């Protein structure tokens, strides 16, 4: 019930993994799953996918262009607009499969992708539910807070120097670490030693294609990232947002603010106490809590509706 697949996104080959639920009969609903900053589909997604599969929906996990198993140069270019486009093209691909109920497709994202799926849900009417886990919602505010005033100024200086060099030399520019064990000494996008430890451990165990760096231009694009205008356009699509209480990495207060801006009456907020941003990657008990919430939401808004439609058509 599992196969490797590929599709084109604006001409570039994107690769992913499609898994159908056990004993699937007839077209089944599907959830398109994407990761966040420097992630590949082997990081965390398979763990969350298990819960969604158990709920009765198929999953399509994919690597964005420029990363993982997918094609695209330069490598490790993290362009949120392109990644959102990849999400939509993944929806197109999965909805065109005979095994999938095209009228019941949802999207799932974590961290950076937790923000992406809000944009996808706001702009793609084919998407019937959105699951947003610990999302990035305002890149500028996020970077300003996590770096602090002095280091944020250093970050902006590095970004502007790289912009000048890219324009002068016609290249993709420089690169910077995703995180660092010595954030006070080494600039990185996400200045938390714990991020470095967790992702390098996952890379060693499960995700060899993970690269813990990006182009500097990727961080510049993060500073312009803001999903609030999209959240305000989700009028009736069901949205589940999962937030880690006290999350200082993607700012749980900003996440709740974004949730409150969604006008849809079919929205649900799950705040998980006594967890952290990174524990939703590394602690199985915490993954299971978030996964169970996602499974319940998928069952209600995709699987039950798909089953009812099939019964009416029979």
pLDDT in tens, the chain (314 residues): 899 999 999 999 999 999 999 988 889 999 999 999 999 999 999 999 999 999 999 999 999 999 999 999 999 999 999 999 999 999 999 999 999 999 999 999 999 999 999 999 999 999 999 999 999 999 999 999 999 999 999 999 999 999 999 999 999 999 999 999 999 999 999 999 999 999 999 999 999 999 999 999 999 999 999 999 999 999 999 999 999 999 999 999 999 999 999 999 999 999 999 999 999 999 999 999 999 999 999 999 999 999 999 999 87
Strands 213-215 and 175-177, bridge-based pairing: antiparallel
Q: Give the three-state DSSP class for 115.
A: helix
Res 314: pLDDT: 74
Spatial contact of 237 and 117, defined as CB atoms under 8 Å apart: no
Res 30: pLDDT: 98
Spatial contact of 242 and 267, defined as CB atoms under 8 Å apart: no
Strands 127-133 and 213-215, bridge-based pairing: unpaired
- Given strand 239-244, what is the order of strands in its sheet? 2-9, 12-19, 58-62, 28-34, 100-110, 127-133, 239-244, 267-272
- Find, among 134, 114, 116, 144, the residue nearest to 279 by Cα: 134
- Find, among 45, 81, 83, the residue nearest to 206 by Cα: 45
Res 62: pLDDT: 98
Residue 64 per-residue DSSP state: P
User: What distance in Å separates the CA atoms of residue 209 and residue 16, rounded to the nearest whole number?
Assistant: 13
Tokens of 57: 């929906």
Tokens of 278: 């990174």
- Find, among 258, 216, 31, the residue nearest to 122 by Cα: 258
Res 64: pLDDT: 98
Residue with tokens 């009416």: 312
Helix axes 45-54, 284-298, angle to 10 degrees: 40
Res 313: pLDDT: 87
User: What distance in Å separates the CA atoms of residue 181 and residue 184, rounded to the nearest whole number?
Assistant: 9
Nearby residues of 189 by Cβ (< 8 Å), 6 or more positions away: 37, 143, 176, 177, 178, 179, 214, 218, 219, 222
User: What distance in Å separates the CA atoms of residue 224 and residue 27, rounded to the nearest whole number?
Assistant: 39
């Amino acid at each position: 019930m599992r196969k490797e697949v590929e599709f084109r996104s604006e001409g570039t080959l994107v690769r992913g993994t499609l898994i159908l639920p056990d004993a699937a009969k007839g077209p089944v609903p599907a959830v398109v799953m994407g990761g966040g900053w420097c992630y590949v589909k082997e990081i965390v997604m398979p763990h969350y996918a298990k819960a969604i599969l158990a709920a009765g929906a198929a999953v399509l996990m994919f690597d964005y262009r420029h990363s993982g198993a997918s094609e695209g140069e330069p490598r490790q270019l993290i362009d949120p607009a392109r990644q959102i486009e990849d999400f939509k093209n993944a929806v197109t691909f999965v909805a065109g499969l005979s095994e999938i109920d095209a009228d019941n497709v949802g999207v799932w994202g974590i961290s950076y992708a937790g923000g992406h799926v809000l944009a996808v849900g706001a702009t793609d009417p084919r998407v019937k539910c959105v699951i947003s886990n610990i999302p990035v919602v305002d890149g500028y505010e996020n970077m300003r807070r996590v770096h602090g005033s002095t280091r944020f100024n250093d970050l902006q200086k590095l970004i502007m120097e790289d912009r000048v060099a890219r324009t002068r030399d016609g290249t993709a520019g420089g690169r910077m670490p995703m995180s660092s064990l010595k954030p006070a000494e080494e600039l990185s996008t996400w200045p938390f030693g714990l991020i470095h430890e967790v992702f390098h451990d996952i890379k060693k165990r499960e995700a060899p294609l993970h690269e813990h760096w990006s182009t500097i231009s990727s961080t510049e694009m993060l500073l312009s990232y803001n999903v609030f205008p999209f959240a305000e356009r989700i009028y009736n699509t069901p949205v589940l947002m999962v937030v880690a209480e006290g999350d200082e990495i993607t700012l749980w207060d900003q996440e709740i603010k974004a949730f409150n801006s969604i006008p849809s009456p079919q929205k649900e907020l799950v705040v998980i106490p006594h967890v952290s941003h990174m524990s939703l990657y590394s602690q199985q008990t915490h993954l299971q809590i978030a996964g169970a919430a996602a499974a319940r939401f998928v069952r209600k808004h995709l699987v039950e509706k798909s089953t009812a439609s099939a019964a009416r058509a029979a």
